[in-house]
Amino acid sequence: MFEKILINFLETKRKYIQNFKPPNIIAEIIPTEVTNLFPIDKLILAKLHQFVSNNPIYFKKTNILINNINFISYEGDVNDFYLSSKKYDTNYQPFYPTWMLSAFLLCLKAKELGFTEIIDIGAGDGRISYCGSLLYLRSIGIELDSSLSELQNDLCKKTNINFEIVNRDASTFDFAKLNLSKPLFFVSGLPEMGEMFVDNLINTTLKNNFLSFGVVFLGSINNKRKFVKDDTLYGWGEIIKKNNLKIIKEINLPTHWTNDNNSESKYLITKKISK
């Protein structure tokens, strides 16, 4: 199911951007019905729409047709939350969300790979944690910005989908308190913003005796980016090697910062290996 949805998702995303040309910073699509090309559980699909419909960052929705499939185009802006998240000294990546369907696919793959907990570092509006809960994974969103944590709480109430919300600085948080078993940590920062933070996070979490342990790194299709010291593995090569991590899956997915081109963002799912 994952691969089928992914292939069709990427094709429709590109047609959406090229043909519909949404003018707003936040713009994405979600299918309105279960089809052979998008075999998503009907109740889960409804909950994806419910999250977006109740999220104040979206202010416009339009019914559109792509490849004879009905979608809703959701558009919006994150300026208020983006500026709010930048006021914290230890914030390594201002709020700028991935697409909702991308968040769902990341969680679906995490479940297929055998992880039992999702910990989203810098959870923003909580969409990854929300999708994890839809798939019956224990989901935890750690968010420094109190306004974004309040938004997560509000969305949980309005959708009746709950996940654990931690309004703390992840760089000093004691993950042992969470009693994790097979966690997968999502880190949304690009290497030039989150390199030192991620290295510290891995060193901290490795002190716990997890049955297994993984990290999702956010890279780019173009690995020759300005200000990146390490140009291997999309900027994460040195950290992956240093911490004995192995890439078990690479996924290209739409994010709002790739809406203006034909490429997607690169996600590297890694797992801890024995020395």
Q: What is the C-alpha separation between 93 and 211, in angstroms, rounded? A: 29
- Measured from the Cβ of residue 96, the count of other Cβ atoms closer than 10 Å reads 16
Residue 12 is part of a domain; what is its CATH number? Answer: 3.40.50.150
Beta bridge partners of 120: 141, 186
Contact call for residues 140 and 117 (beta carbons, < 8 A):
yes
For position 223, what pLDDT does the model report? 45
Q: To 5 degrees, how large is the angle CA 120–CA 189–CA 185?
A: 30
Number of domains forming the structure of the chain: 1
Q: Which domain, by its residues, includes 142?
A: 2-272
Query: Mapping DSSP to helix (H, G, I), strand (E, B) and coil, where does residue 272 land?
Result: strand
pLDDT, mean of each 10-residue run, the chain (275 residues): 95 95 94 97 98 97 97 92 56 76 98 96 94 98 92 97 94 87 87 68 75 85 54 86 92 90 89 74
For position 43, what pLDDT does the model report? 98
Residue 102 tokens read as: 């991308």
Structure pTM?
Answer: 0.92
Q: Is 132 left (phi over 0), alpha (psi -120 to 50) or beta?
A: alpha
Residue 37's Cβ-count burial label (10 Å; 0-12, 13-18, 19+) is middle
For position 274, what pLDDT does the model report? 62
